[in-house]
Structure 1
Amino acid sequence: MTGRLKAPTGRYGGKSAAQRQAERRSRFLAAALELFGADPGYRATTVAALSEAAGLSTRQFYEEFRTLEDVLAALHLQVNDWAEEAVLTAFAEAEGRPLAERVTAIFRAYAANVTGDPRRIRITFVEIIGVSPRLEEQRLARRARWVDLICAEAEAAAARGEAARRDYRIAATAFIGSVNGLLHDWSAGWVEATLDEVVDELVRQLLGILRPAGWEPGRSALPSAAP
């Protein structure tokens, strides 16, 4: 199949074509969250099974998507959008608070959103891996958004004299890898800790990056190495 089928146009049942299309898409994504994020998983799901779970036809599927990979791509973006919205809300609510409190509030919001539904964890950290070069590029692009967010917060903290001035990109990239790995392992039951303990550990790691040994509040940069 080279492309999607054309969806019907005009009003039906009091809803516009655009409203019906949005509703169908939402139902397919909700069904995908259940099938991809729980059992049987993305690789064992068929178009027919997904359509049945959504209460829609396979024809309606092809009016919205070309392949199941398109569904997984859309679902991965949606799950990341939910987490990003939670973080941005926490950013706004923590405005003006000391750095440690601000970082803690932000990570609590992120962790609560990501781990609140085990299906989201599986979509973000398991099902998306190794599917195709296209989805790998998408996964890395979304991770880069999180790196950019950490860098922006670090640079703002440095400008306020709450953190060291430096290029944070490599450190932020490494830190995001730690976040993803620890939250995945915790959700899989491989880490014996409460979610609060996990968040506290991540906060300590980030504060250690922002305020390394030898840095003092108000200092604009790290101390120079001794000759």
Structure 2
Amino acid sequence: MAGRLKQPTGRYGGRSAEERQAERRRRFLDAGLQLFGGEPGYRNTTVAALCEAAGLSSRQFYEEFRTLEDVLAALHLQVNDWAEEAALAALATAGGLPVAERAVAVFGAYAADVTGDPRRLRITFVEIIGVSPRLEEQRLARRARWVDLLCAEAAAAVERGEAAPRDYRLAAAAFIGGVNGLLHDWAEGWVDATLDQVVAELVRILLGILGDRHPR
């Protein structure tokens, strides 16, 4: 579990202990984004290398984190938070548009945020996979949040008469799994398509799900 081993006190250099702690944590996370999301990747990064990239000491590292896995866990949550904020902001702006335009806006914003920095993309869809049962549980929990968001939007589309009334949870889980898989493969260079083409295909799949008026 991430967490400080020692609580700092007092002010130094005009900054409070809390401000200094936040700054150190940010520098470690920035270094993790650089090393885990680029070269050499999470599995080939050492605490010493992370500290060097952050310009901080190993003592300071262990005051903020217990293991490198804690850094990866924090980064995974942060990257997902950024993507969720982008998607929700787009949804708020496109709230009055038809369902097809809303879908394009939301998935476009999500994909642009996740792929705008290749390091974020790699942490979300590559480095997090298979690290430990703890991180797998975290990954699945964050995926469930995306499923919940999609189900809420499907319910809104049903109320507007834009989608067939049915339980969308199974379809939403399948769709989000497809999103993750496709973006993972795209990030690895296994999909010969532009990001716009990937987003357009995902939107077509989603609209096909919402337009199915013959639930099984």
TM range (shorter): over 0.9
Distance 1:191 1:111 in 2: 15
| 1:44 CA drift (Å) | 1.1
**Residue in 2 aligned with 1:51?**
51
What SS class does the counterpart of residue 190 from structure 1 fall into?
coil
The equivalent of 1:123 in structure 2 is 123
Question: Match of 1:26?
Answer: 26
The two structures, once aligned, show a CA RMSD in angstroms of 1.4
TM-score between the two structures when normalised by the length of structure 2: 0.95
Q: Aligned with 2:15: secondary structure?
A: coil
Uncovered stretches (5+) of structure 1, i.e. residues with no partner: 216-221
Query: Which residue of structure 2 aligns with residue 142 of structure 1?
Result: 142
Rounded Cα–Cα distance in structure 1 between residues aligned with 2:23 and 2:13: 13
2:167 alignment partner in structure 1: 167
Deviates more, 1:191-200 or 1:13-22: 191-200
1:16 aligned partner: 16
Counterparts of 1:42 and 1:114 in 2: how far apart (Å)? 18
**Sequence identity percentage:** 79
Report the more deviating stretch, 122-131 or 104-113: 122-131
Q: CA deviation at 1:72?
A: 0.7
The Cα shift of 1:5 comes to 3.4
Query: 1:118, CA displacement in angstroms?
Result: 1.1
Contact 2:129 2:136 in 1 (8 A): yes
1:183 paired to 2:177: no
Moved more, 119-128 or 51-60: 119-128
Structure 2 unaligned runs (5+)? none
Q: Name the amino acid aligned to 2:51.
A: S
Partner Cα separation in structure 2 for residue 147 and residue 5 of structure 1: 35
Aligned length: 214
- Normalising by structure 1, what TM-score? 0.91
Structure-2 separation of matches of 1:127 and 1:189: 15
1:153 matched residue in structure 2 = 153
